[in-house]
Amino acid sequence: MNMYDIIAKKRDGNKLSFNEFEFWLKGYVEGSIPDYQSAAMLMAVFLNGLDEDETNWLTSVIVDSGECIYLNSINGIKVDKHSSGGVGDKTTLLVAPIAAAADLKFAKMSGRGLGHTGGTLDKLEAIPGFEVEMSVTDFRRQVKKDGIAVISQSENIVPADKKLYALRDVTATVNSIPLIAASIMAKKLATGADIIVLDVKYGSGAFIKTPEDAIKLAETMVKIGLNNGKKVSALISSMEAPLGYAVGNSLEVDEVVEALRGEGPDDLLELSTALAGELIYMSKVKTERKAAVLCAKKLLDNGSAWKKFLALVKAQGGSINAIKDNKLTHANYVVKMASLESGYIESINALAIGRAARDLGAGRLKKEDSINPNVGIVFHYKVGDVINKGDCLATLYADDVMGATQVGGDVLAAVKITPEPVEIPDLIYGIVDEQGFTPWLKIL
Catalytic residue among 10, 90, 187, 355: 187
Res 116: pLDDT: 58
Give the pLDDT band (50/70/90) at residue 17: very high
pLDDT bucket at 70, cuts 50 / 70 / 90: confident
Q: Is 59 within 8 Å of 181 (Cβ atoms)?
A: yes
161 catalytic? Reply is: yes
Task: Determine whether 366 is exposed, middle or buried from the number of CB atoms within 10 Å of its CB (0-12, 13-18, 19+).
Answer: exposed
Check residue 115 and give its pLDDT.
Answer: 56
Confidence (pTM) = 0.92
Put the strands of the sheet holding 392-398 in their side by side order: 246-247, 376-379, 392-398, 333-338
What are the distances in angstroms from CA 319 to CA 102, 111, 313, 314, 396? 25, 21, 7, 7, 25
Whether 333-418 and 78-158+171-179+190-324+427-443 are alike in CATH topology: the answer is no
CATH 3.40.630.30, domain 333-418, yes or no? no
8 A C-beta contact, residue 279 and residue 95: yes
- What is the third-level CATH fold of 78-158+171-179+190-324+427-443? Pyrimidine Nucleoside Phosphorylase; Chain A, domain 2 (3.40.1030)
Q: What is the pLDDT of residue 279?
A: 97
List the catalytic residue out of 82, 163, 230, 330: 82
Question: Above 90 in pLDDT, residue 347?
Answer: yes
Query: Domain-by-domain residue ranges, the chain?
Result: 78-158+171-179+190-324+427-443, 333-418
In this prediction, residue 366 carries a pLDDT of 63
By CB neighbour count within 10 A (0-12 exposed, 13-18 middle, 19+ buried), where does 422 fall? middle
pLDDT tens column, 223-255: 999 999 999 999 999 999 999 999 999 999 999
Of residues 241 and 328, the one with the higher pLDDT is 241
187 is annotated as an active-site residue = yes
Q: Are 244 and 257 in contact (CB under 8 A)?
A: no
**Closest Cα partner for 353 from 24, 97, 86?**
86
Across 5-19, 119-133, 220-234, 400-414, least confident range: 400-414
Taking the C-alpha atoms of residue 248 and residue 371, their distance in angstroms, rounded to an integer, is 10
117: number of Cβ within 10 Å = 25
For the chain, the average pLDDT equals: 92
Catalytic residue among 161, 194, 199, 254, which?
161
Per the residue annotation, which of 38, 176, 183, 204 is the catalytic one?
Answer: 183
d(CA 438, CA 20): 36
| 168 carries an active-site annotation | yes
**Per-residue pLDDT reduced to its tens digit, 279-314:** 999 998 778 999 999 999 999 999 999 999 999 999
pLDDT digits (tens, 9 = 90+) for 429-441: 999 999 999 999 8
| SS3 per-residue string spanning the chain | CCHHHHHHHHHCCCCCCHHHHHHHHHHHHHCCCCHHHHHHHHHHHHHHCCCHHHHHHHHHHHHHCCCCCCCCCCCCCEEEEEECCCCCCCCHHHHHHHHHHCCCEEEEEECCCECCECCHHHHHCCCCCCCCCCCHHHHHHHHHHHCEEEEECCCCCCHHHHHHHHHHHHCCCCCCHHHHHHHHHHHHHHCCCCEEEEEEEECCCCCECCHHHHHHHHHHHHHHHHHCCCEEEEEEEECCCCCCCEECHHHHHHHHHHHHCCCCCHHHHHHHHHHHHHHHHHCCCCCCHHHHHHHHHHHHHCCHHHHHHHHHHHHCCCCHHHHHCCCCCCCCEEEEEECCCCEEEEEECHHHHHHHHHHHHHCCCCCCCCCCCCCEEEECCCCCCEECCCCEEEEEEECCHHHHHHHHHHHHHCEEEECCCCCCCCCEEEEEECCEEEEHHHHC
Phi, psi for 368 (deg, rounded to 5): -80, -10
Average pLDDT on 23-43 reads 95
Q: Is position 82 annotated as part of the catalytic site?
A: yes
Task: List the strands of the sheet with 343-348, edge to edge.
Answer: 386-387, 343-348, 415-418
pLDDT at position 335 is: 92
Cα 435 from Cα 280, distance rounded (Å): 18
What pLDDT is attached to residue 365?
66
Tens of pLDDT, residues 181-203:
999 999 899 888 999 999 999 99
Rounded Cα distance between 387 and 73, Å, is 55
pLDDT at 329: 83
Q: At what angle do helices 289-301 and 92-101 cross, to 10 degrees?
A: 100
Active site residue 73: no
How high is the pLDDT of residue 242? 95
Q: Of the residues 112, 168, 330, 358, which is catalytic?
A: 168
Whether 207 and 85 have beta carbons less than 8 Å apart is answered as: yes
